[in-house]
Amino acid sequence: MSVTTKQLYDAASNDWQRSEPILLSDFTARPFLLKWCEPVAKLNVLDLGCGEGYFARGLKRQGAGSILGIDVSEEMVRGAEQREAQEQLGIRYRAGDATDLTAIASESVDLTVAVFLFNYLTLEQTRHTMHEVHRVLRPGGRFIFAVPHPSLAFLGDKVAPFYFDPQSKGYFSGRDCQFEGEIWRRDGKSVRVRSVHKNLEDYFGALAAAGFTQMPQVAELRATEEHLRMDPTWFGPLRDKPLHLAFQLRK
Ligand SMILES: C[S@@+](CC[C@H](N)C(=O)[O-])C[C@H]1O[C@@H](n2cnc3c(N)ncnc32)[C@H](O)[C@@H]1O
């Protein structure tokens, strides 16, 4: 039986600790998402699946107000708190399941972010969590999240620097199935990741059912020409492939 997500991240928490870009997605996704979150000044932010706080720290440095990060891995939260003790940004972290937001008051959050959380949740958990995100957002508040691009698992070889293995499953038959994968760090080390596969219909359907009625902004993130110039060997295998899918919604 495969390890739970909590076990996976508890065991690998040291490999996720970072104060500068090191993982592939620190180049291909997080800088874009941090810009997308602007303007963040003084916003009350909820970071679901916050990990060791890399993204939350980025938001705080951009001027965000209060930030609460929630992660199911106690070791990731411990890492976040250790970093907070070293560089006091005033971010609060809590070990807990992002599918349970009952402790958070309705319409109390300006911005909810979830950077590579939903790929760990089943479709049912995703629907429930998006519904809860809608509840806790204030009218006009925003919801920004990113997931692995649903096509990626079916486009490439199982090689560095990023892949998911769909085994024998296809784009439709693999819905709600767990694909194991790896993402590489620039120092040559890889970390295990996984994706409970969901297709575009699943994401758009879950958002609509949650109550998000305005057209979302959608971005398909990739290795850009700038990345390829910076390190052609590392980014080269990903040329022209959709890596991540990002959504921005307004309540
Ligand atoms: C790929 S990491 C991303 C961490 C962070 N968002 C970042 O961008 O650096 C995914 C995180 O989601 C967390 N996670 C997975 N399932 C979760 C759940 N049900 N509730 C809370 N956190 C969860 C994992 O423990 C892990 O820290």
Q: Which protein residue's CA is at the shortest distance from atom 11 of ligand 1? A: 49
Q: Which protein residue's CA is at the shortest distance from atom 1 of ligand 1? A: 116
Residue of 58, 51, 52 whose CA lies nearest to 111: 58
Q: Is the pLDDT of residue 227 over 70?
A: yes
Mean pLDDT of 176-180: 97
Does residue 113 form part of some domain?
yes
User: Does the Cβ of 74 fall within 6 Å of ligand 1?
Assistant: no
C-alpha distances (whole Å) from 213 to each of 77, 135, 137 are 33, 13, 14
Taking the CA of residue 8 as reference, the ligand 1 atom at the shortest distance is 25
User: Does the Cβ of 117 fall within 6 Å of ligand 1?
Assistant: yes
Q: What's this model's pTM, rounded to 2 decimal places?
A: 0.98
Q: How far is the CA of 72 from the centre of ligand 1 (A)?
A: 7
Does residue 159 form part of some domain?
no
User: Does the Cβ of 50 fall within 6 Å of ligand 1?
Assistant: yes
Does residue 126 form part of some domain?
yes
| Structure-token pair, residue 136 | 């806790």
Mean pLDDT of 162-180: 97
Does residue 206 form part of some domain?
yes
- pLDDT score for 131: 98
Kindly report the CATH number assigned to the domain that includes residue 57.
3.40.50.150
Total tally of structural domains belonging to the chain: 1
Q: How far is the CA of 51 from the centre of ligand 1 (A)?
A: 5
Q: Is the pLDDT of residue 213 over 80?
A: yes
Mean pLDDT of 216-243: 97
Q: Is the pLDDT of residue 148 over 80?
A: yes
Does residue 171 form part of some domain?
no
Our separate counts of H helices and E strands in the chain read 9, 10
Task: Supply the range of the domain harboring residue 108.
Answer: 5-149+198-250
Q: How far apart are CA 230 and CA 235, in angstroms?
A: 9
Mean pLDDT of 8-14: 96
Q: How far apart are CA 59 and CA 30, in angstroms?
A: 11
Q: Which protein residue's CA is at the shortest distance from atom 27 of ligand 1? A: 51
| Structure-token pair, residue 158 | 């199982």
pLDDT tens digit sequence for 102-131: 999 999 999 999 999 999 999 999 999 999
> Predicted confidence band at 74 (pLDDT cuts at 50, 70, 90)?
very high
Q: Minimum mean pLDDT among 82-86, 152-156, 207-211: which range?
A: 152-156
Mean pLDDT of 55-64: 98
- pLDDT score for 2: 80
Taking the CA of residue 183 as reference, the ligand 1 atom at the shortest distance is 1
User: Does the Cβ of 116 fall within 6 Å of ligand 1?
Assistant: yes
Average pLDDT, the chain: 97
Does residue 163 form part of some domain?
no
Angle, vertex CA 120, rays to CA 115 and CA 126, nearest 5:
85
User: Does the Cβ of 212 fall within 6 Å of ligand 1?
Assistant: no
Percent of the chain with pLDDT over 70: 100
Taking the CA of residue 73 as reference, the ligand 1 atom at the shortest distance is 25
User: Does the Cβ of 145 fall within 6 Å of ligand 1?
Assistant: no
Q: How far is the CA of 107 from the centre of ligand 1 (A)?
A: 23
Does residue 90 form part of some domain?
yes
Does residue 165 form part of some domain?
no
> Predicted confidence band at 1 (pLDDT cuts at 50, 70, 90)?
low
Q: In a 3-state reduction of DSSP, which class is residue 122?
A: coil
